[in-house]
Amino acid sequence: GAGVSQSPSNKVTEKGKDVELRCDPISGHTALYWYRQRLGQGLEFLIYFQGNSAPDKSGLPSDRFSAERTGESVSTLTIQRTQQEDSAVYLCASSLVREQTQYFGPGTRLLVL
Amino acid sequence: GDSVTQMEGPVTLSEEAFLTINCTYTATGYPSLFWYVQYPGEGLQLLLKATKADDKGSNKGFEATYRKETTSFHLEKGSVQVSDSAVYFCALSDELGTSGSRLTFGEGTQLTVNP
């Protein structure tokens, strides 16, 4: 079946603009995760969804970052008033409930000029 | 908090050489341990995992053993190929409430295998 998909694959924006990043998880996966990968670094956890609720938002770097999920499907990560330090690859992953193996999407490469 | 420390890269080897990429971790409780691989231009893929002490994960000729006494999960392969060139990430799972499992990653090790 289809894997995790993300859109857009690349996004270039100007400092101060808002951006929305989309994630379509694997069908039937109730758990969804967002991570950020800065150049040359490992992945940082941002937020976790179980269904459409977010029990853990501890990784969101600031109040400019928010995320939502509709049902057990699509999730959107929104970054308001983007800053240059927000430039990174944003990765989405999904998993079955109580399954520790996460399946990753190809990521969205965000560049803030 | 939990953390993962990986051997610094980049690592450059000749084809058929032996590979070791070191990974150590700090965690409370008993995390599961993972190696993920990122091939050029592709997304992150699970390579192997181990869920408890002394378990050995293996896949595509790669192996790693969960060593609780040394808090390590070193990745090994006896004979690397050019196609193994990629970035390798060690990670541990951190049990969250309501069945979630956040992954904590190391910084990644770039491996280049020359013919």
Residue scoring higher pLDDT (A50 or B83): B83
B chain contacts of residue A104, beta-carbon cutoff 8 Å: 36, 43-45
CA distance A53 to B48: 29
For residue B114, give both structure tokens: 């020359």
Asked if A101's CB is within 8 angstroms of B99's CB, the reply is: no
pLDDT of residue A8: 96
CA distance A94 to A67: 15
pLDDT tier, A14 (very low <50, low <70, confident <90, very high otherwise): very high
Nearest-neighbour CA in chain B from A75: distance (Å): 16
Cβ(A37)–Cβ(A107) below 8 Å = yes
Asked if B96's CB is within 8 angstroms of A41's CB, the reply is: no
**In chain B, which residues touch A (CB < 8 A)?**
4, 6, 32, 34, 36, 42-46, 49, 51, 89, 91, 93, 96-108
CA distance A56 to A49: 7
pLDDT of residue B97: 60
Which residue on chain B is closest to A59 by alpha carbon?
Answer: B102
Q: Average pLDDT, stretch A23-45?
A: 91
In sequence order, which residues have a C-beta less than 8 Å from that of residue B5 and are 6 or more positions away? Answer: B23, B24, B25, B26, B106
Per-residue model confidence as pLDDT tens for chain B (115 residues): 889 999 888 999 999 999 999 999 999 878 999 999 999 888 899 999 999 999 999 999 999 999 999 999 999 999 999 999 999 999 998 766 654 788 999 999 999 999 9
pLDDT of residue B8: 80
Does the pLDDT at position A49 exceed 70? yes
Which residue on chain B is closest to A37 by alpha carbon?
Answer: B107
Q: What percent of chain A has pLDDT over 70?
A: 99
